[in-house]
Amino acid sequence: MTNRTHLNDLALAFRSQHVAGRPLVLPNAWDVASARIVADAGAAAVATTSAGLSWDLGVADGDRLGRDEALGAVARIASAVDVPVTADIESGYADAARDVAATVRAVLDAGAVGVNIEDAWHGGSAPLRPVQAQAERIAVARAAADAEGVALFVNARIDTYLMGVGKPEERLAATLERAAGYLAAGADGIFVPGVVDPVTVEALVTGVAGPLNVMAWPGAPSVPEFAALGVARISVGGGIAQAAHALVRRAARELLTEGTYGSLAGGLEYGELNALLGQGS
């Protein structure tokens, strides 16, 4: 079992990095190599992406991974870097709310000090779980971490915008209602992917009584622009993994159709990458 005192120190350090106007910037990783590269680039913490991690393990994203498989990957990542790690655990890798506790304990055993828990309800009777049902899952996560003596950062993800739930003009109010319920249940921060327009982001910063996390993509405001709006955390989800896999496809198609190798230009030097992955081995 991972030393809980050391984990709590990491968790407190990670918690302190969430400051409105000075956002924690997280280039999401999905395996040991990407985590080492991200940390070497200067990231203050490493966040996993469930999409990238799922693809790396050969399955589609969307609650299709089992808890052991997912958190085995998180453990390998956490053991490979010295900075805090936060794990995207989708909806908690548990059907029943009470079983989220076992997931949280496994997260801590893996060495992570933060989690994203989403309210998307894959295979459910609605796109999102009811507010109270999701709040119960967050409360279970909070209680499980507290019982282990670790100030786990619970980042409650709200998928109203990402999944286009409800009428556009009602989406902000619905998101704020969910945010209030999740914070009351013990969440530490709120993550609203799918929205980057400054007016809405500023309204979310104003209306959410906790650190706001947004997900960025090409064309979104820059990190300084989000900072000026009061955002406390910026991540990119599966974006880096998608870009990496796009390079694989371009390089493969070029090689197989044109017989040339231009797509390989600009790659990391063999010795540099080999040395980076050899650290600690």
pLDDT tens figures, 144-200: 999 999 999 999 999 999 999 999 999 999 999 999 999 999 999 999 999 999 999
Cβ-based neighbours of 137, under 8 Å, separated by 6 or more: 91, 92, 94, 97, 100, 117, 129
Contact criterion met (CB below 8 Å) for 174 and 165: yes
pLDDT tens across 116-143, in order? 999 999 989 999 999 999 999 999 999 9
Contact criterion met (CB below 8 Å) for 163 and 120: yes
Asked if pLDDT for residue 279 goes beyond 80, the answer is: no
CB burial of residue 248 (10 Å; 0-12, 13-18, 19+): exposed
Report the Cα–Cα distance between both ends of the chain, in Å, rounded. 21
Asked if pLDDT for residue 24 goes beyond 90, the answer is: yes
Strands 114-118 and 212-215: unpaired
- For residue 87, the 8-state DSSP code is E
Which two tokens mark 119? 């309210």
In 3D space, the residue among 132, 137, 130, 172 whose CA is nearest the CA of residue 156 turns out to be 137
Percent of the chain predicted with pLDDT > 90: 97
In 3D space, the residue among 141, 2, 190, 158 whose CA is nearest the CA of residue 84 turns out to be 2
pLDDT value for 93: 97
At residue 88, what are phi and psi to the nearest 5 degrees?
-80, 105
Rounded Cα–Cα distance for residues 210 and 208 (Å): 6
Contact criterion met (CB below 8 Å) for 20 and 233: no
pLDDT value for 218: 97
Asked if pLDDT for residue 281 goes beyond 60, the answer is: no
Predicted confidence band of residue 2 (pLDDT cuts 50, 70, 90): confident
Rounded Cα–Cα distance for residues 161 and 71 (Å): 27
pLDDT value for 280: 62
| Stretch 195-221: mean pLDDT | 98
- For residue 226, the 8-state DSSP code is H
Rounded Cα–Cα distance for residues 276 and 33 (Å): 8
pLDDT tens across 77-119, in order? 999 999 999 999 999 999 999 999 999 999 999 999 999 999 9
Average model confidence (pLDDT) for the chain? 97
pTM for this prediction: 0.96
Contact criterion met (CB below 8 Å) for 77 and 32: yes
